[in-house]
Amino acid sequence: MKVSFVRARYPSVWEPTNLMYVSAFVKDRYKGNLDVQILDGFFDSDEQILNKISGSDYVGFSGTTPQVPHIKQLSKLVKKEYPSMKTIVGGYGPSLQPFTFLNDPTIDYLVVGEGEQSMLDILNGTATQKLVSNQPIMDVDSIPNPDRDSIDLNRYISIAEKDEGRRVTSIMTERGCAFGCTFCAEGEFGTIWRKADLSNKKLEYERAVRLRQRSAKLVVEEMLEVRDRFNITFFKMNDAETNPSKPHFIRLCKEMIEQEVNVPWGCNMRCDKVDDEMCALAVKAHCEEFWMGLESGSPEIHRDINKGTTVEMIKKAFDVSKKYGIKRRTYALLGTPLESYETIKQTEELIDYVDPEIIGFSILAPYPGTAYWKPEYDELDWSQIDEFSNTTWSSNNLTNQELRREQSRLIEKYSDKLAPIIRKKQKLGIGGSQTLDSMMGAM
């Protein structure tokens, strides 16, 4: 049996870890012969994808909300070219906009939630309905490491090497998120890590499994194997946050020290959980970068977005990590409902205080699953909307044009600290002055 997985097109790219995990799982559990390949719309044109999937029994598409239109476009092309080929969609976008696909005749199966067991059910012929959904696998250590054999990983590594001068790849230490940020589907919706059933033309979700953590020993063993195989010089932890709890982060650092990984790495960190002990161990474990969401300098906005952090927590986290020489990257989120010129001024003051080495500015995108989603947003062309190129969203006090003007002003003010993705998109026209499609054409 031949299976092709395709990550839909998006103008920035990291390896599709979710598809790599699904591929590894089905290759490990499927009893028959299985030939798997993983393709990416970032590198491959639609015509190339159609040629490469020729002879496949199944083709599975995955993506987030901005990639949904391309998934639908690909499924139509596949059914026209290969009518007997079974099409499958999954990932964050399809899981959070299920009826977009349930009502699409070019889609044979919709996977909602975690993909491993559902994909295996489809291949085994035990999936009896179009909607396929399973309980998350509680023992994440039982899931094989991502399939790095069925994908050309060097295509991704070479981009980082060109842009950053280092060979970067991703490692996941956990699945899900334990926190409740209103601007994120992981927080407000409770993650896609849950089973769903169709009842009376409505989707009913079981309670979410918020967070599952991998064994530190297995994480580090994977790092060592990938380091040696691909000559990796920097690891990016692909977690919502790598310190959801202090013990998890401490275990990872101690294991890296014991097994002598000796490769620099960076990770998302919650500001409320950064302290001297964690920073000291992080440095010994060769962690060189903390990526910490500042979001806003307004105490009122911090309460409103339900992240659980305060301005004082942010200041403390940046102060202590600076003391240990850790490079600090931060994100500022413009446009939450209470945003005004005054709150943006507070954000500037906080940025100036914490003085991060790297910063990025985005505008809130009301993605499905967030607190800001509305049913009528289904009609938007999400291929032209993301948090960097957003001509849609306004706050209670500022229009979209005013938000984009402030975003551009801040980008100019902090131009010497810009995150790489902002630098790249600035060259192409940031803040909605170019569409995502035109960005892709210029890259």
The CATH number linked to 86 is 3.40.50.280
Return the closest-CA partner of residue 288 out of 241, 331, 234: 234
Whether 236 is covered by a domain: the verdict is no
What confidence tier does 185 reach under pLDDT thresholds 50, 70, 90?
confident
Whether 73 is covered by a domain: the verdict is yes
State the DSSP H helix or E strand holding residue 197, giving kind and residue range, or none if neither: strand 196-199
pLDDT of residue 431: 41
pLDDT of residue 439: 34
What confidence tier does 427 reach under pLDDT thresholds 50, 70, 90?
low
Whether 260 is covered by a domain: the verdict is no
pLDDT of residue 383: 82
Return d(Cα 384, Cα 438) in angstroms, integer: 10
Any idea which residue has 């699904």 for tokens? 22
pTM of the shown model: 0.93
Q: Is the pLDDT of residue 18 over 70?
A: yes
When comparing pLDDT for 400 and 433, which is higher? Answer: 400
Whether 351 is covered by a domain: the verdict is yes
How many structural domains comprise the chain?
Answer: 2
CA dihedral 263, 266, 271, 273 (to 10 degrees): -40
Return the closest-CA partner of residue 428 out of 418, 416, 415, 437: 437
pLDDT of residue 388: 77
C-alpha of 278 from chain center: 25
What confidence tier does 207 reach under pLDDT thresholds 50, 70, 90?
confident
What confidence tier does 424 reach under pLDDT thresholds 50, 70, 90?
low
Return d(Cα 212, Cα 152) in angstroms, integer: 28
Whether 210 is covered by a domain: the verdict is no
For residue range 372-403, list pLDDT tens digits in order: 999 888 888 888 887 777 888 999 999 999 99
State the DSSP H helix or E strand holding residue 291, giving kind and residue range, or none if neither: strand 287-295
Give the Å distances, CA to CA, from 128 to 110, 118, 124, 251, 432: 12, 11, 11, 42, 43
Torsion sign (Cα): 29, 34, 40, 41: negative
Average pLDDT over residues 28-42: 97
Report the CATH number at residue 275: 3.30.750.200
Residue after which a domain boundary falls, among 121, 142, 163: 142
Q: Is the pLDDT of residue 442 over 80?
A: no
CB 282 within 8 A of CB 327: no
Return the closest-CA partner of residue 436 out of 373, 383, 400, 388: 383
Range scoring the smallest mean pLDDT among 84-93, 118-127, 194-203, 305-314: 194-203
Average pLDDT over residues 46-58: 98
Number of Cβ within a 10 Å radius of residue 282: 28
Whether 165 is covered by a domain: the verdict is no
Whether 163 is covered by a domain: the verdict is no
For residue range 233-267, list pLDDT tens digits in order: 999 999 999 999 999 999 999 999 999 999 999 99
For the chain, helix (H) and strand (E) counts, in that order, are: 17, 16
For residue range 102-116, list pLDDT tens digits in order: 999 999 999 999 999
Q: Are residues 136 and 273 in the same domain?
A: no
Q: Is the pLDDT of residue 359 over 80?
A: yes
Whether 49 is covered by a domain: the verdict is yes
Residue after which a domain boundary falls, among 74, 107, 142: 142
Residue after which a domain boundary falls, among 142, 163, 185: 142
Give the structural domain span for 30: 2-142
Query: How deeply is 128 buried, as exposed, middle or buried, from its count of CB atoms within 10 A (0-12, 13-18, 19+)?
Result: exposed
Q: Are residues 287 and 430 in the same domain?
A: yes
